[in-house]
Amino acid sequence: MGGGIELDTVLRFVDIAVDALSEAREEIDALNVYPVPDGDTGTNMYLTIAAARDAIREVPGAPRRAALAAFSRGALLGARGNSGVILSEMLGAIARRIASQTADDRNAEVMAEALRQATEASYAAVGEPVEGTMLTVARAASDAAAEAVKDPAARTHDVLRTAAAAAREALGHTPEQLEVLARAGVVDAGGRGICVILDAAETVLTGKRPVPVTQPLGSHAIPVPQLAHPGAGDLSGDGPSYEVMYLLDTTDGEIPPLRARLGELGDSVVVVGGDGLWNVHVHVDDVGAAIEAGLEVGRPHRIRVTHFAEQVAAAHGEPAGEQRAVVPAGRTVIAVAAGPGLVELFSDAGAVVVEGGPGRRPSTGRLLEAISGSGAQEIVILPNDPDSVRAARVAASTAESDGAAQGLRIAVIPTEAQVQGLAAIAVHEPGRTFDQDVTEMTATARHVKHGAVTIAAKEAMTSAGPCSPGDVLGVIAGDFAVIGDDLGEVAIAVLERLLAAGGELVTLVRGDGSGDGADDIADRAAAWVEEQHPHVDTVVYDGGQERYPLLMSVE
């Protein structure tokens, strides 16, 4: 018995896998010639697993089953493209098997079964499975794992090492199975992504560095990644023109006829999910018919349509002709807001708002949607939360790469507090050059001293000493600096420290007022500033944020 696959192991795996796919993204994109040479397989697989990572990280402390369910749902909701949707089904199957592990299950057997179930689920999800793709590579890995686990002495790392090696071997054979790969002189892009993910899993348990893609593997050398030469995997004139994706709320029994209907309309049909929520993917000429097929059986939402001619042209650095996308124009600010009042404040200042906050921080995918939906050529992102800064940077990097042909420029100002974002957007001036505007907003945010008041939810050791549930905590620049039992007194103690070196403006943002005297903290703090620092201006806003009855800043 293995005692169960630890959730910490899963968390380490997903972090390493996200970083590994981030590094391999461009390499995998360059391999992408099938089913459409649109150069986005690596990006789509990366965004899918990043969405799963974001989802499981948003439920810290959750029981293993709940955390793995969040991981699976995050992959489903964040899946992009044909490869991403298939990957989301694989990740979901693996998560479900780990979640169902009992005390009598050997870890090695659980992992081998998880890989088998992932392969079976991915084949079942695809309308017409094709060999020489990521499906083939996944099957080779799961078959090898099944053989390895027959040895009663085999451990989890033995299973994963064997599976990863088999996947690399199978990847080298994909050009023999799919003519379009042989013509282009590349291996399958999705299969390479599967190898990266299995290498990450092996690394977690063994510390072994992944085998470089250009190194001979088994009986085959994997070709150096390259963009396909003219005529190798070009977009077919008689093939479908559009990729259509949407989430679909429907009963599970409606899926088989939906798959059949989509198969009549186009190809590359992949439908994954369960429990009433599905992710639908198809390549078609008739976009309306593909969406109507979903309407006939449920409620489609988050509909995304991509015109392949534009995407392929962008991947090859060529103009898309009359069908090219509209070039973005203007400048906009995207701000993460943690409460309804803050949403209104940022909206009134002209920002595109993405709602988020502690426990519900926006994923990379949501930020990407805000970027693409803004229609702007120059974008400034205010994450307004330390954990959202990384997601914002990943989204910015991905969007800039995707929009390179249009000259898209994105700057992430590393604001770690809502009040820093308010200060930054207050000096935003579209009339300046982009660099000047970003410099001014960044400098303003950096010089803001910020604090907050919150209530301790559990016993912990803080930088201010031990705290117990119900204690009032004063936060300065993200660190716990004051512990007390009265919200107003702690708020004033934080303000005293923030104003110790002087200041001209105090900003107070009132929380949702959910009891414990939270309603009048802002008024008490404002009155104290007026009495003790009469030359300092004070503004009070209703932010409506949760967990923090009061946010404060000094400029």
Contacts of 270 (CB under 8 A, 6+ apart): 82, 85, 86, 89, 125, 126, 127, 280, 281, 282
- Tell me the three state secondary structure of residue 415: coil
Integer Cα distance of 216 and 235 in angstroms: 31
- Cβ atoms of 72 and 95 closer than 8 Å: yes
Cis omega (within 30 of 0) for bond into 549: no
Integer Cα distance of 420 and 7 in angstroms: 35
Can you give the pLDDT at residue 326?
38
Q: Token pair of 103, please?
A: 């005390």
Q: Please choose, from the candidates 359, 324, 352, 308, the residue with its C-alpha nearest in 3D space to the C-alpha of residue 338.
A: 359
Query: Which numeric CATH code is attached to 449-554?
Result: 3.30.1180
Integer Cα distance of 421 and 428 in angstroms: 11
Instruction: Give me the architecture of the 7-221 domain, per CATH.
Output: Alpha Horseshoe (1.25)
Instruction: Give me the architecture of the 331-446 domain, per CATH.
Output: 3-Layer(aba) Sandwich (3.40)
Render 393-406 in DSSP notation, one character per residue: HHHHHHHHHHTGGG
Report the chain (555 residues): mean pLDDT per 10 consecutive residues. Answer: 76 92 87 73 90 90 92 92 92 95 91 96 89 95 95 92 94 90 88 94 79 44 40 48 86 92 89 91 83 87 70 48 46 94 93 85 82 88 90 80 67 94 93 88 92 91 89 92 92 94 92 64 92 93 92 94
Instruction: Give me the architecture of the 242-316 domain, per CATH.
Output: 2-Layer Sandwich (3.30)
Integer Cα distance of 7 and 10 in angstroms: 5
Sequence spans of domains, the chain: 7-221, 242-316, 331-446, 449-554
DSSP state of 308: H
Q: Please choose, from the candidates 462, 410, 466, the residue with its C-alpha nearest in 3D space to the C-alpha of residue 438.
A: 410
